[in-house]
A = this chain, B = another copy of it.
Amino acid sequence: MSSLPFNVDAAAPPPGGAGAVTPAFSPLYQQIKALILQSLQQGEWKPGEAIPSEMELAARFRVSQGTVRKAIDELAAENLVMRRQGKGTFVATHAEQHVQYRFLKLLPDTGDARVEGPAQRTVLECRRVRASADVARALALRSGDPVVQARRILSFAGEPTILEDIWLPGQAFKGLTAEQMAGYQGPTYAMFELDFGVRMVRAEEKIRAVLPDSEQAQLLHTPAGTPLLSVERIAYTYNDVPMELRRGLYRTDTHHYHNELS
């Protein structure tokens, strides 16, 4: 079946190693979590599918249900799986998620959350290029490595609102076309899951206020001199591997970026 975890250090470093005395105690449930994560990563269960029940996993790993439970609790807290009482635990997916556009924090100023429905996409460009230095750095590639670059406009209620440039590692996204970017119904990240097996798991954003150049202003139907929100996002798959760089310009005259702090 599978490797059995031992109730000892996951990867016990030799005592007296270079520099610090790392305690390196790893609770059992963390080891189980790592094993489940590994299976997720290797695609043993596909996005949207159910993973084995807690009892099954407990039997497989030779631990109690409670230990598996705590492992899954953490995975659920990180949005990697979704629990549904009475049904099972499912691999998280950007497709059938109750919140469409999980990573998009732009909301219309009118309180009606997402009444405006899904965004209309206009793909302006999608082609293979060589990574510039900063793109390469963001994606952990080397300058000149192949990347796919796309540019598109998202419109809400007919109004162009977001202009995005997207860079993806060429290796993982071989054969991505403008038609694919435009044609897929639903979140682009769901398309990435289905067509390329790439699951975005978390992301970081750097936000600034900028003035668009004339081309950008024109594309967004915005008077020259109107400031825009610059949102640079790096999205990661499992193991903190960066798989997307996205530079967005958001109009904030009709929308705002919403953030919850705690």
Contacts and interface: CB of A to CB of B under 8 A. Distances in A.
Interface of A: 77-79, 102-103, 105, 201-211, 225, 227-230, 233, 250, 252, 256-262
A204 B252 contact: no
Nearest to A80: B262
A259 B201 contact: no
A209 B261 CA distance: 19
9 contacts: A201-B262, A204-B258, A204-B259, A204-B260, A205-B261, A208-B256, A209-B210, A209-B228, A259-B259
Contacts of A229: 207-209, 229
A64 to B, nearest CB: 14
A258 to B, nearest CB: 6
Contacts of A233: 261
Contacts of A252: 207-210
A86 to B, nearest CB: 13
Contacts of A228: 209, 227
Interface centre among A201, A203, A206 (most CB of B within 10 A): A206
A209 B249 CA distance: 10
A160 to B, nearest CB: 16
Contacts of A102: 261
Nearest to A66: B66
Contacts of A77: 77
A236 to B, nearest CB: 10
A228 to B, nearest CB: 5
A245 B229 CA distance: 22
Contact of A207 (B201, B204, B257): B257
